[in-house]
Amino acid sequence: MNGSMGAVGRVALGIGTSGAKRQRGPRVAPVARAVRAALAVSAVAFAFTGSGAALAGDCTTPVDNVVRCNGDFTDTINFAVEDLTLVVGDASPSTVVPAAGDAGILADWSGDIGVTNLADISTLYADGIHAYGSGDIHVDNGGSVESLGFYDTIGVYAYSGGGDVAVHNDGSILAYSYAGLADGIFAGPSSISSVRAGRLRALGIAHDTRHPAAPEVPTF
């Protein structure tokens, strides 16, 4: 279920209605021009971060199935803990800038999946937050997610094969694709709580038939 407008060679933005938790300065140039320039510069920057020493980022041990990560990370954040809730950037300013082709947060553990992001995530050729499983999935973004790529690009991806999916955004999400589709949020298919709450507009479902949970949403 496509939760934001996709466009070829354009920018897809997902901005929460409640306002971001951090104040950010105004852009001094049009978004499209700035992101095109950033795409070229980021390729060089990511090459250096992928080969250099990791920055100081720390994660707690699981307590009541909750892990908290704060600091600066140059690798994907991922854990193999069942029914985990991952909280990133709640105690100090945090960044996640993995190597090109790697997601910022990879939430694919068994059971229910919870992700709360307050960090600044920047990815190249990969999703900013990628949540995939068979249980309930809840993603809450209050930080900044920027995903750049040449082909299809997604800022926040959340998909469950058998549970409910909810995505809430109070921060900012930017997805830019030079030659493919750009989705700020891609969520589905078992629940459309974000759509029902009016936070997202569902454009269509990539399937032969309409989904029983959202019969009003067309297929494509």
Q: Which residues neighbour 218 within 8 Å (Cβ) at sequence distance 6 or greater?
A: 204, 205, 210
Q: Is residue 34 part of a domain?
A: yes
Q: Give the C-alpha distances (Å, rounded to integers) separating 80 from 83, 86, 100.
A: 9, 11, 22
Q: Is there a domain that residue 207 lies in?
A: no
Residue 158: inside a domain, yes or no? yes
Question: In this predicted structure, what is the pLDDT of residue 48?
Answer: 39
The pLDDT, as a whole number, for residue 210 is 81
- Owner of token pair 């070229």: 40
Task: Please report whether residue 220 resides in a domain.
Answer: no
- pLDDT surpassing 70 at residue 185: yes
Of 21 and 126, the one with more pLDDT: 126
Q: At 130, which helix (H) or strand (E)?
A: strand 129-133
Q: Indicate whether 14 pLDDT > 80.
A: no
In this prediction, residue 133 carries a pLDDT of: 95
In a domain, 160, yes or no: yes
Residue 96 pairs in a beta bridge with 73, 121
Percent of the chain with pLDDT over 70: 65
- Asked if residue 20 is part of any domain, the answer here is yes
The amino acid at 185: I
Which amino acid, one-letter code, is at 36?
Answer: R
Q: What's at 82, amino acid-wise?
A: E
In a domain, 208, yes or no: no
Q: Between residues 202 and 140, which one has the greater pLDDT? A: 140
Neighbouring C-beta atoms of residue 23, cutoff 10 Å: 6
SS3 of residue 165 by DSSP: strand
Total number of domains constituting the chain: 1
CB 171 within 8 A of CB 199: no
Q: For residues 36 and 34, give the distance between their C-alpha atoms in angstroms, rounded to a whole number.
A: 6
The reply to whether 52 falls in a domain is: yes
Task: Give the helix/strand (H/E) hosting 43.
Answer: helix 31-51
Q: Is the peptide bond prior to 93 cis by the omega test (within 30 degrees of 0)?
A: no
Q: How far apart are CA 83 and CA 71, in angstroms?
A: 24
The DSSP call for residue 77 is B
* 90: Cα within 13 Å, side-chain hemisphere: 15
Domain that holds residue 123: 11-190
In tens, the pLDDT along 15-71 reads 443 333 333 333 434 444 454 455 544 444 444 344 333 457 999 999 999 999 999
- Tell me which residue of 69, 197, 88 sits closest to 145, measured CA to CA: 88
Q: How confident is the model at residue 182 (pLDDT cuts 50, 70, 90)?
A: confident
Strand partners, 156: 129, 185
Q: From CA 161, how far away is CA 164, in angstroms rounded?
A: 9
Q: Report the mean per-residue pLDDT for the chain.
A: 77
Average pLDDT over residues 105-130: 97
Q: What is the pLDDT of residues 207-217, one digit of tens each?
A: 788 877 667 77
- How far out from the chain centre does Cα 99 lie? 16
